Structure formats: structure tokens, C-alpha cells
């Protein structure tokens, strides 16, 4: 029962975050000449160039990334991402029809809109969802790279490169003011997201203390394709234990929590790692 309530609350928070994000884009950013970033930004550019309904373009661009994420990152992630994407596109469709004007300078409006957008996306990410294909692309790309090299990488360079291409397209195909204002949106939103998700694009170190590590190690290998460092440890009260250390990314964190919850009698911590030296 507690698990069902927790899952229902997660979906509710994802829908709420997507609603905030869509309100910011449709009612604040677009009327003031800015666009969203990532795949939503690509969808908005396509809509402006072709005249096709914006919500259709945004969802159409996101759909291939959504399907790839569901296949590679798991069914639960795919469902949450689909819920977030549908809520976001429906929100954009509805809020586009609502007359709303923020009577202030473009710069202030865009900064304010970027903050609301960042808060909405942070809420979605915090509860295991996603509404931007650039994050899924970065996740899949780095997962393949990590599987090939055995090393863990931050998503930041991939996200910056992806969004640089989006803003260059906006600069060339729309106008320079739109591109620069959109860059401001990205900066403000990214800072809000980092604040509430503890640098979601960075590597996470999960430390697990347990007396029975075998099932945990097997589940981590089977479900996340990750290995662990195993150390002997001793608690003042609990006695002899095993300490497992595993490195994952933010999108794998919700699945790691499920693995830990299934294996009772553990104590776990999550730490953000800025860099791994080899």
C-alpha cells in the first residue's frame, strides 16, 4: 500500500512539474521571444518555420528519444517520461489559448520564466521522470560509452553540445535576440535544476552497508549493468558488515533505490561526485 501511494505521488509531482514547465514556455517565454531548450526547443523552431501546431512538433521530436529511453533505461522510466511528456505537451496546447501577459521587460520576464521552467523540470527529475530528449540522449550516449570503456562520465558536456546546436539553429533560423534570450533561459533553468536536484548531470556515488551483499550485487549487475567495490567494515553495534560502493548517473538513481528497498537491512548514502580521476 505504501509503495502504491509513493508511486501515485511520484506521478502527481511529475504532472505538476510538467504543468509548471508548460505554463512557463507558453505564457512567459514564447510571448517574450524566447524558446525552451533541448528537444522542446527543436520542436518550437520546427513549429515556427512550418506553422504546424507547436504541441505536435514538441511531442513528435521527443517521441524517438522517449522510445529509446524506454528500451535502454527501462519500462518504469519510459512510463514516467511518457506521462511527463504528455502532461507537458497538453499543457502547452492549453496555455497557448489562455490570454496571459507579463507586463515587464523581456529580460526580467525571461529570467522569471526560466526560473519557473527550472522548478518544473527539477520536480520532474526528482521523481524519476523526464520531458527533454537531450537528457535521454546524453544518458544513452554515456551509458554506451561507459559500457565500452568501463568509465563513468558526466552528462554536462553532452548537454552543452546538444543545446549549443539548438541555440545556433535559433540564431540562424529565427533571430539573434531569440537565441540570446533562450540562452538566458537555459542558464537560469539549469541553476534552479542544479539547486533542487544536487547537480543531476554529475556522477552519483552510492554507498551501501549490508550484511548480505550477494543479492544486491546481483541485482545491480542485472538491472543496472554496474559493478561494485566491496570492502569489509564493522559497526560498533551491528558488527561485521560489507560496504558496497557503486557509481551511477541520476537517471539510474530511482532504479537503485528500488533495488535497495527490495533488499532489507541496508544503510545507504548518495553523494555527488564532480570528477573521477584515473
pLDDT of 109 above 80: yes
From 142, 171, 197, the end of a domain falls on 197
Whole-number pLDDT of residue 42 = 92
pLDDT of 91 above 80: yes
Give me the number of domains the chain comprises.
2
CB atoms closer than 10 angstroms to residue 47: 21
One domain for residues 252 and 185: no
One domain for residues 12 and 111: yes
Query: Is 278 inside any structural domain?
Result: no
**Residue 85 sits in which domain range?**
2-197
One domain for residues 16 and 141: yes
pLDDT of 18 above 90: yes
One domain for residues 7 and 139: yes
Average pLDDT for 41-67: 91
- Rounded CA-CA distance 113/83 in Å is 22
Residue partners of 212: CB distance under 8 A and separation at least 6: 263, 265
- Rounded CA-CA distance 3/261 in Å is 10
One domain for residues 184 and 210: no
Average pLDDT for 93-100: 85
pLDDT of 1 above 60: no
Q: In Å, how far are 15, 66, 76, 247 from 70, measured between CA atoms?
A: 18, 6, 8, 21
One domain for residues 218 and 111: no
Residue 41 near residue 170, CB atoms below 8 Å: yes
Whole-number pLDDT of residue 94 = 92
Q: In Å, how far are 37, 114, 148, 231, 271 from 193, measured between CA atoms?
A: 13, 10, 29, 34, 17
Mean predicted lDDT score pLDDT of the chain: 86
Residue 101 near residue 117, CB atoms below 8 Å: no
CB atoms closer than 10 angstroms to residue 148: 8
Residue 52 near residue 123, CB atoms below 8 Å: no
Check which CATH number belongs to the domain holding 242 and give it: 3.30.70.120
**Closest by alpha carbon to 210, among 230, 184, 188?**
230
CB atoms closer than 10 angstroms to residue 114: 27
From 197, 219, 239, the end of a domain falls on 197
SS3 at position 42: helix
One domain for residues 156 and 247: no
Task: Identify the band that residue 117 occupies on the pLDDT scale cut at 50, 70 and 90.
Answer: very high
pLDDT of 104 above 80: no
From 148, 166, 197, the end of a domain falls on 197
**Closest by alpha carbon to 113, among 19, 29, 183?**
29
Whole-number pLDDT of residue 234 = 81
Amino acid at each position: 500500500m505504501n509503495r502504491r501511494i509513493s508511486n501515485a505521488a511520484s506521478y502527481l509531482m511529475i504532472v505538476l512539474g510538467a504543468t509548471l514547465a508548460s505554463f512557463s514556455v507558453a505564457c512567459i517565454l514564447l510571448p517574450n521571444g524566447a524558446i525552451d531548450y533541448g528537444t522542446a526547443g527543436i520542436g518550437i523552431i520546427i513549429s515556427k518555420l512550418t506553422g504546424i501546431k507547436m504541441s505536435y512538433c514538441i511531442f513528435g521530436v521527443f517521441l524517438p528519444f522517449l522510445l529509446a529511453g524506454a528500451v535502454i533505461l527501462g519500462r518504469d522510466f519510459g512510463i514516467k517520461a511518457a506521462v511527463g511528456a504528455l502532461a507537458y505537451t497538453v499543457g502547452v496546447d492549453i496555455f497557448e489559448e489562455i490570454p496571459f501577459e507579463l507586463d515587464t521587460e523581456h529580460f526580467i520576464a525571461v529570467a522569471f520564466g526560466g526560473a519557473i521552467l527550472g522548478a518544473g523540470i527539477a520536480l520532474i527529475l526528482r521523481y524519476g521522470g523526464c520531458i527533454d530528449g537531450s537528457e535521454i540522449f546524453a544518458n544513452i550516449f554515456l551509458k554506451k560509452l561507459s559500457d565500452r570503456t568501463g568509465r563513468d562520465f558526466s552528462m554536462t558536456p553532452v548537454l552543452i553540445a546538444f543545446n549549443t546546436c539548438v541555440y545556433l539553429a535559433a540564431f540562424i533560423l529565427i533571430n539573434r535576440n531569440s537565441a540570446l534570450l533562450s540562452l538566458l533561459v537555459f542558464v537560469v533553468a539549469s541553476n534552479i535544476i542544479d539547486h533542487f536536484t544536487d547537480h543531476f548531470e554529475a556522477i552519483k556515488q552510492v554507498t551501501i552497508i549490508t550484511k548480505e551483499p550477494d543479492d544486491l550485487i546481483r541485482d545491480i549487475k542485472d538491472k543496472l549493468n554496474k559493478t561494485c567495490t566491496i570492502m569489509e567494515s564493522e559497526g560498533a553495534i551491528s558488527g561485521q558488515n560489507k560496504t558496497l560502493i557503486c557509481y551511477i548517473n541520476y537517471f539510474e538513481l530511482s532504479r537503485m533505490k528500488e533495488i535497495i528497498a527490495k533488499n532489507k537491512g541496508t544503510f545507504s548514502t548518495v553523494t555527488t561526485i564532480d570528477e573521477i580521476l584515473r
